[in-house]
């Protein structure tokens, strides 16, 4: 399954997410307060998860926001993720990768601080000063454009789980089978369209997998808000 781009992947994923949601999530006849609590919260992992999440939020009538995670890369191999950090949470590490590289968490302290600073910058920009959304007791759908190792999703899900969501769902168009196994206990459900054995990399499964900018994220979130997909207010 090759997706043309992230938007197409998001539209296809949206239908599967809608099918998997509990039937009472969008029940009618509730009070306004009940409806606010009942409406799903769709949290994208920037940058690549944002254009995938927007169609999902539109399809299920959810609020669109972001959960910001930064990968912790190996020294001299920054693309090799050996950990991740989400929002104001503690870093999580791939212990197997640390042992393989002969590293300790202390060896990565400077990298963690640099990624925490970038995380703070992105949070301020993407939310324009708003606080993170309140996830307590809500149906939360975390969306990314794909999962390779699953380390960033693991950090996001662990951070969100600590805030006691009512239901925590991870949704991606494509993922490695290994990532599904790693994350199975982190979410109440994992929704995906394809988990090819010859996965290799997320970008392989997109015809157009262009790098996104902060401006792209801003524009997609703004369009979502204009279309009635609103971030939760403070």
229: pLDDT strictly greater than 90: no
**In whole numbers, what is the pLDDT of the chain averaged over residues?**
89
30: pLDDT strictly greater than 80: no
Architecture of domain 6-68+130-226: 3-Layer(aba) Sandwich (3.40)
How confident is the model at residue 10, as a pLDDT?
98
Grade residue 219 by pLDDT with cuts at 50, 70 and 90. very high
Average pLDDT over residues 228-234: 42
Residue 147 carries which DSSP code?
A: B
Grade residue 226 by pLDDT with cuts at 50, 70 and 90. low
Average pLDDT over residues 33-51: 83
Grade residue 80 by pLDDT with cuts at 50, 70 and 90. confident
Torsion of CA 178, 183, 185, 186, to 10 degrees: 180
Architecture of domain 71-123: 2-Layer Sandwich (3.30)
Tell which wins on pLDDT, 33 or 99: 99
Entry pTM: 0.89
Distance CA 176, CA 198 (A): 8
How confident is the model at residue 35, as a pLDDT?
53
Question: Do 6-68+130-226 and 71-123 fold alike per CATH?
Answer: no
36: pLDDT strictly greater than 60: no
How confident is the model at residue 232, as a pLDDT?
41
How confident is the model at residue 234, as a pLDDT?
33
Average pLDDT over residues 61-89: 90
216: pLDDT strictly greater than 80: yes
Please report, for the chain, the start and end positions of each structural domain, with discontinuous segments joined by +: 6-68+130-226, 71-123
Q: Are 232 and 43 in contact (CB under 8 A)?
A: no
Q: Are 88 and 69 in contact (CB under 8 A)?
A: no
Most confident residue range from 57-66, 78-87, 225-234: 57-66
In 55-86, which positions are buried (b, 16+ CB within 10 angstroms) versus exposed (e)? bbbbbbbbbbbbbbbbbbbbeeeeeebbbbbb
């Amino acid at each position: 399954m090759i997706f043309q781009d992230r938007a197409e992947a998001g539209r296809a994923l949206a239908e599967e997410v809608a099918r998997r949601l509990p039937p009472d999530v969008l029940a009618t006849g509730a009070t306004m307060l009940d409806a606010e609590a009942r409406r799903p919260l769709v949290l994208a992992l920037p940058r690549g998860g944002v254009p995938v999440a927007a169609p999902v939020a539109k399809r299920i009538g959810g609020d669109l926001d972001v959960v910001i995670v930064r990968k912790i890369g190996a020294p001299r191999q920054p693309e090799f993720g050996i950990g991740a950090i989400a929002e104001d949470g503690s870093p999580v590490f791939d212990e197997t990768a640390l042992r393989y590289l002969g590293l300790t968490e202390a060896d990565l302290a400077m990298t963690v601080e640099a990624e925490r600073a970038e995380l703070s910058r992105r949070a301020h920009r993407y939310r324009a000063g708003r606080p993170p959304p309140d996830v307590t007791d809500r149906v939360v759908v975390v969306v990314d454009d794909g999962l390779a190792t699953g380390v960033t999703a693991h950090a996001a899900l662990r951070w969100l789980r600590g805030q006691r969501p009512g239901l925590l769902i991870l949704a991606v168009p494509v993922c490695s089978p290994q990532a599904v196994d790693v994350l199975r206990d982190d979410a109440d459900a994992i929704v995906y369209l394809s988990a090819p054995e010859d996965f290799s990399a997320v970008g392989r499964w997109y015809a157009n997998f262009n790098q996104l900018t902060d401006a792209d994220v801003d524009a997609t979130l703004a369009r979502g808000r204009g279309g009635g997909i609103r971030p939760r207010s403070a």
